[in-house]
Structure 1
Amino acid sequence: MSLIIAYIGKKGCVMTGDKRKIGYFGDKERLDELEKDLYSGNIKSDEEFRKRANDLGISIKITDDANKLKIVGNCVRGEVSTKGTFETKRRRIYGTTNGYQIVELLGSETQSRNAGEKGIIIFGNNYAKQLAQSLIQKKWKASQSLKYMGEVFEDILREVSSKTPTVGSHFDTLIQQPKFNASEAQKHLNVTIDHDIKVLVKFRQDLTEQLVQQSIAIDMANKIIDKGDVGKVVSIDGNMIYVQLNDKTQAMDGNWKQLAGPGQNVLMFTESDNVKLGDKVIIENENLCLKKDKSSLKCDIILCSL
């Protein structure tokens, strides 16, 4: 769901892209039918799109807040992406004065990488690209400034967006114009793109780690003990007592790392002066207490079942 138009030449690079993002949910066969109508140009407006999706029982969410363009080094980067079952496919163009490169990624793995010196590059679905190409032929004046070119690109995207809901009516335009010859441009692009892909790899690694930690947190949260026996008192030192955990209980910290396993001792605090060795410790109504008189206990650990 994108349309990005880029000019790369001796003046620099100017790139304009829409901000549309569309999410789907529904039966795959009906979704395929909806997309066929959408990409063929049979659906002309957001209203028609919503109606057709509703008729097919497909839930859609349309937003116009996606950031598809970015300044990276002395380059402008444009990206369109498609989320698959297991990986996200990304197609990127990096442009600067007298040079560009088009990079295709699966996840963070580079699938292809092609370089060029100048031209007008269009990213988008076939229908939107055909509309844009026709309009460029009518409106384009190569002798104009990059700012003017950007305004022309915005006019083209605005017109295309009125004919297909695959393109939104909100746009970004970015310009970069360092003083590079063709050789310098490719050298800068190589360094910039290599670094940018490394950033993507690190981002995906961090995201994977976050998802793993979230999964662990959800799993452990389901194991938090809210009732039942947890152990017995094995040592008393004033208001501090040590409790030996039973064979079904473990103690975790706030990051869900185990501090003590079954049979090991954990520190708790009491305000009662009637604690005896061997007293049972339980959780009742989500309160940690002594079984014999329900006097409260406190601790800075999370008690979970195995």
Structure 2
Amino acid sequence: MTLVIAFIGWEGAVMAGDMREITFQGEDSRIEELERELYSGSIISDDDLRERAGEIGVTIRVRDDKAKVSQRDGLLIGEVAETDGPVVRRKRLYATKGGYAIAEIIDSQLRVIQRGSASNFVILGNSVAKQVANQCIQGVWEEGGSIPDAMRVVMLTMQAASSMTASVSRTFILVHTDLAASLSNAIEQDSRG
């Protein structure tokens, strides 16, 4: 799980997602140990990650080319995945002008777990990425800011998170919309596969 962040406003929405995907091979308990350290913030750089993985005998593969955010008919969609043994849980954020929804996907079953309206930042990611994002937002965002202001905050947040944890790539995709798309239609369409 890495970082997807969005701002939902009355005039539009903006979303960014990093592009990192890390795969692990090795003994399950060692992989869990490495993931725990990575997602708690104790592993900051890519070099630290490679070094720690080598120390405990875990093989890692790091790719920075996975698109986690996209735009479909005025709707912004971001997704993060979390693996718990054989179970893969995905959280998907749908954002549009004026509203958002978060869905959880387990075994191809999509279930909406949260809905909200404008003037909100929404963050999906591991605990350290969320903590960095919250600090950036609280430190920089001014109530009543515009969509361009939100874009700057989102970009700053992505840059800050990538410098604080190896779980977030330095590259990211940024998308925005000023359209009000139907969240319900998109969720219904995705539920059918």
TM (norm. structure 2) is: 0.92
Distance 1:110 1:29 in 2: 30
Distance 2:57 2:123 in 1: 33
- Once superposed, which parts of structure 1, at least 4 consecutive aligned residues long, lie more than 6 Å away? none
Distance 1:82 1:125 in 2: 9
Structure-to-structure mapping, 1:162-181, within 5 angstroms: 162-178=163-179, 180=180
CA displacement at 1:17 relative to structure 2: 1.0
Structure 2 counterpart of 1:177, one-letter code: D
Distance 1:114 1:156 in 2: 23
Structure-2 residue corresponding to 1:220: none
Superposed CA RMSD: 1.7
CA displacement at 1:86 relative to structure 2: 4.5
Distance 2:24 2:13 in 1: 34
Structure-2 residue corresponding to 1:193: 187
Structure-2 residue corresponding to 1:160: 161
Distance 2:103 2:19 in 1: 20
CA displacement at 1:93 relative to structure 2: 0.8
Structure-2 residue corresponding to 1:151: 152
Distance 1:196 1:176 in 2: 20
Structure-2 residue corresponding to 1:14: 14
Structure-to-structure mapping, 1:32-47, within 5 angstroms: 32-47=32-47
CA displacement at 1:30 relative to structure 2: 1.1
* Identity within the alignment, %: 35
CA separation of 1:160/1:89 partners in 2, compared to 1, >3 Å: closer, same or farther? same
Structure-2 residue corresponding to 1:101: 101
CA separation of 1:65/1:138 partners in 2, compared to 1, >3 Å: closer, same or farther? same
Distance 2:178 2:140 in 1: 22
Structure-to-structure mapping, 1:88-127, within 5 angstroms: 88-118=88-118, 119-127=120-128
* Conserved? CA contact 1:90–1:107, under 8 Å: no
TM (norm. structure 1) is: 0.59
Larger Rg: 1
Structure 1 counterpart of 2:173, one-letter code: D
- The unaligned stretches of length 5 or more in structure 1 are 202-306
Structure-2 residue corresponding to 1:129: 130
* Conserved? CA contact 1:69–1:79, under 8 Å: yes
* Conserved? CA contact 2:136–2:156, under 8 Å: no
* Conserved? CA contact 2:9–2:147, under 8 Å: no
Distance 2:184 2:111 in 1: 16
Structure-2 residue corresponding to 1:80: 80
User: Which structure has more RCO (C-alpha within 8 Å, separation ≥ 6)?
Assistant: 2
Structure-to-structure mapping, 1:56-67, within 5 angstroms: 56-67=56-67
Q: Secondary structure at the match of 1:162?
A: helix
* Conserved? CA contact 2:26–2:59, under 8 Å: yes
Structure-2 residue corresponding to 1:48: 48
Q: Secondary structure at the match of 2:138?
A: helix
May I ask how many residue pairs the two structures share in their alignment?
192
